[in-house]
Amino acid sequence: MEYFAKYYDIAVIGAGHAGIEAALAAARLGCRTVVFTINLDWVGNMACNPSVGGTSKGHLVREIDALGGEMGKAADHTTLQSRMLNLGKGPAVHSLRAQVDRRAYSAYMKHALEMQENLELRQAEIVDLRRNTDENWEMRTALEAVYTAQCVILATGTFLGGKVYVGDVSYESGPDGMFPAKKLADCLKTMGVETRRFKTGTPSRVNRRTVDFTQLERQDGDERIVSFSFDSNEKIKNKIPCYITYTNEETKRIILDNLHRSPLYGGKIDGVGPRYCPSIEDKIVRFSEKERHQVFIEPCGEETEELYLQGLSSSLPEDVQLAFLHSIPGLEHCQVMRTAYAIEYDCVNALTLRPTLEFLQFDGLYGAGQFNGSSGYEEAAAQGLVAGINAANKILGKEPFILDRASSYIGTLIDDLVTKGCSDPYRMMTSRSEYRLLLRQDNADRRLTPMGYALGLISQNRYDAFLEKLRLIEQEKERVNAVTLSPNEALNDVLVSRGTSPLTTGAKLADLLRRPQLNYEALTPFDTTRPDLPPDVLEQVEIDVKYDGYIRRQEAQVAEMHRLECKKLPDSIDYTNITGLRLEAIEKLSKIRPENVGQASRISGISPADITVLLIYLEKNKL
């Protein structure tokens, strides 16, 4: 028999990476918040690779941290190995990645939720969701408890209507053997939520004792470890190495001979899989000319012998998986602890969401994470943070919090989802941003910490430390533009050895730093007036000086973008009444309901001519 349990300001359904950040943000902003999860033991679970960051994803984690989120701190606390990727390229694409302890990460996040004021953590499956006549949302659990909340955030990950595939075997399931959220999936469809079917997968896990490491390439972490959190006090150490091996022609033969047994190629899976993280059978087919594919062998934790085989996601039958694993050097005698599988799940069409991640059709209902069609822990956490902030701001009567494309990768991610949509699981990449020289991971605090402080998610002590960092950066930039280095034999020897021209007259330190071949380290013996500064301050100064011209050019592009973003489009506009708009433009503008002309210009199918018509209409009607 149903009974009324409790009222909250905000309810979060799901305690994965999106749900965690959403719940923490909402509670920290003063809202009475509850987060529901099917199983408390899997809060913050890493159903796929236990790693945080990576190319462009490291940017997202540092932005989450700069705004006051938790993911960066959790990753720093549980790091097994840390590496900075793409150091051979420019700073715009440098990305931090850490292999983390899977169970320790989950425990850290569960404890963070348990200790947070204004937040309750409940193990319960939500099976029904509806809007009451009092305009609150009502949720019913499988145990017939009824909860109400003013706002609800759906952060269901891959649980919603989840179905697992391994060869000919398929069954309803969430990730890692959890039961799926089937009734909630049916409920959302009945409500009229526009859903689609996506797919993702994960590789086998094997026992470390049965791996022959003599045949593998060892991959150690960086000597100088950089933390994800700008506020970190963690003494981060590399604890466990990773390894690399490769598939071969025998692996390829086994997979091709059994391709007919793959549910992916047999037509059993309807969901669309991630384009940039294909299964091993998909890679063998799509890149048939390649003789081998790289496999990263990575630890799942410090207190477990489980190893993750990155690059070998599969939905082939278990016997085929064993056969192709045993064909790979170092894995000939490996014992499989968890079989690889593909999982199909429901997600929303993100074009039905606002930039705040609130539904266009349902007031007070928000989506975040894989529910919105994205893939990846970092993308999920970023959306959860924004959804939690906006749900809280709605209740507190504050302005919506919307990050634009020039402010962050988070803004780019959300704008892509709600403006362009996605036909397959969306993955963040540096190439998706037109402003990536401005949106580096190293300056995420300079871009976003003032926003986090204004929101109330950054403490006064942390903000004061941030302001001191800014002061040191500006002071050092003034110094390098004032200090002149005179030509001498030792300095010129260094310049010539690095492939740049020697000095014949004095040169400003800033001008020398602008040379691509030079950096602070090379000039240290000759820079006698430099104060003792933290490495992150020196890094910011060097990048600002070296890339000054390019940065100014991108800032001009941002100014033009902001001009269009300032042209607001009232939600009440009837696009069918605007003379001159093409039918395709009317249809898409009416469905997506862009917030401003800038967002409208990025909708697929909207032409420059349509934008001109909109601008004329706004001017004519004084909007």
User: What is the per-residue DSSP string for 195-208?
Assistant: EEEEEEEE--EEEG
Residue 160 binned pLDDT confidence (cut-offs 50, 70, 90):
very high
List Cβ neighbours of 79 (8 Å cut-off, separation of 6 or more).
98, 99, 100, 101, 225, 234, 236, 237, 238, 239
Cite the residue boundaries of each domain of the chain with CATH code 1.10.10.1800.
472-553
Q: What is the pLDDT of residue 407?
A: 95
Q: Which structure tokens are listed for 190?
A: 């009945």
Residue 169 binned pLDDT confidence (cut-offs 50, 70, 90):
very high
In whole angstroms, how far apart are CA 366 and each of 234, 339, 393, 409, 615? Answer: 34, 34, 13, 20, 30
Residue 376 binned pLDDT confidence (cut-offs 50, 70, 90):
very high
Report DSSP letters for 411-453, one per residue. HHHHHIIIII--SS-B---GGG-TTTTTS-STTHHHHHHHHHH
Residue type, 603: I
**Distance (Å, rounded) from C-alpha 52 to C-alpha 228?**
9
List Cβ neighbours of 283 (8 Å cut-off, separation of 6 or more).
290, 293
| Tally of residues, the chain | 623
Does residue 392 sit in helix, strand or coil? helix
Task: Judge whether residue 270 has pLDDT over 90.
Answer: no
Instruction: Provide the pairing of β-strand 3-13 with 33-37.
Output: parallel
Rounded to two decimals, the pTM is: 0.93
Q: Please give the helix or strand (H or E) that residue 82 lies within, else none.
A: strand 79-85
What CATH architecture is 3-199+345-455?
Answer: 3-Layer(bba) Sandwich (3.50)
Residue 232 binned pLDDT confidence (cut-offs 50, 70, 90):
confident
Q: What's the farthest any 2 CA atoms get from each other in the chain? A: 89
Closest CA to 104 of 57, 189, 46: 46
Residue type, 192: G
Return the sign of the alpha-carbon dihedral for residues 337, 339, 345, 350.
positive
pLDDT (average), residues 451-455:
98
- Residue at token pair 């929303």: 348
Tell me how far apart the terminal alpha carbons of the chain are, to the nearest angstrom. 53
Q: Please give the helix or strand (H or E) that residue 386 lies within, else none.
A: helix 377-396
**Distance (Å, rounded) from C-alpha 78 to C-alpha 93?**
24
State pLDDT tens for residues 414-448.
999 999 998 899 999 998 998 999 999 999 999 99
In whole angstroms, how far apart are CA 614 and each of 402, 565, 600? Answer: 22, 13, 9
**Distance (Å, rounded) from C-alpha 366 to C-alpha 150?**
11
Closest CA to 35 of 130, 143, 132, 147: 147
In whole angstroms, how far apart are CA 300 and each of 80, 98, 101, 330, 412? Answer: 9, 12, 6, 18, 31
Q: Which CATH class is domain 566-620?
A: mainly alpha
Q: Which structure tokens are listed for 311?
A: 């690059």
List Cβ neighbours of 190 (8 Å cut-off, separation of 6 or more).
none
- Nearest-5° Cα angle at 298, 100 to 104: 25
Which of the listed CATH numbers 3.40.50.2300, 1.10.3210.10, 1.10.10.1800, 3.40.718.10 matches domain 472-553? 1.10.10.1800
Return the sign of the alpha-carbon dihedral for residues 18, 411, 604, 597.
positive
Q: What is the pLDDT of residue 337?
A: 98
Which of the listed CATH numbers 2.60.120.10, 2.40.30.260, 3.40.50.2300, 3.30.1600.10 matches domain 205-344? 2.40.30.260
**Distance (Å, rounded) from C-alpha 201 to C-alpha 373?**
15
Q: Which structure tokens are listed for 588?
A: 């898409």
pLDDT (average), residues 457-467:
98
Q: What is the pLDDT of residue 276?
A: 66
Task: Judge whether residue 587 has pLDDT over 70.
Answer: yes
Task: Judge whether residue 371 has pLDDT over 80.
Answer: yes
State pLDDT tens for residues 61-79.
999 999 999 999 999 999 9
Q: Could you say which DSSP state residue 236 is in?
A: -
Does residue 606 sit in helix, strand or coil? coil
pLDDT (average), residues 520-532:
93
Cβ atoms of residues 487 and 503 within 8 Å: yes
Q: What is the pLDDT of residue 388?
A: 98
Cite the residue boundaries of each domain of the chain with CATH code 3.50.50.60.
3-199+345-455
Closest CA to 142 of 158, 166, 159, 125: 125
Q: What is the pLDDT of residue 227?
A: 97
Task: Judge whether residue 265 has pLDDT over 80.
Answer: no
Cite the residue boundaries of each domain of the chain with CATH code 1.10.150.570.
566-620
Q: Which structure tokens are listed for 255?
A: 């997979």
- Phi/psi for 468 (5° steps) reads -65, -40
Task: Judge whether residue 517 has pLDDT over 80.
Answer: yes
Q: Which structure tokens are listed for 247?
A: 């598939």
Return the sign of the alpha-carbon dihedral for residues 219, 221, 224, 228.
positive
Q: What is the pLDDT of residue 604?
A: 83
CA 283 from chain center: how many Å? 24
Residue 245 binned pLDDT confidence (cut-offs 50, 70, 90):
very high
Q: What angle separates helix 17-28 from helix 377-396, to the nearest 10 degrees?
A: 30
Cβ atoms of residues 427 and 58 within 8 Å: no
- Nearest-5° Cα angle at 203, 373 to 55: 55
Residue 580 binned pLDDT confidence (cut-offs 50, 70, 90):
confident
Instruction: Give 142-170 as a 3 state SS string.
Output: CCCEEEEEEEEEECCCCCECCEEEECCEE
- Nearest-5° Cα angle at 70, 161 to 347: 20
State pLDDT tens for residues 99-136.
999 999 999 999 999 999 999 999 999 999 999 988 89
Task: Judge whether residue 262 has pLDDT over 80.
Answer: yes
User: What integer best gives the mean pLDDT of the chain?
Assistant: 94
**Distance (Å, rounded) from C-alpha 16 to C-alpha 36?**
10
List Cβ neighbours of 414 (8 Å cut-off, separation of 6 or more).
355, 357, 382, 383, 386, 403
- Phi/psi for 145 (5° steps) reads -85, 140
Residue 613 binned pLDDT confidence (cut-offs 50, 70, 90):
confident
Instruction: Provide the pairing of β-strand 137-141 with 341-348.
Output: unpaired
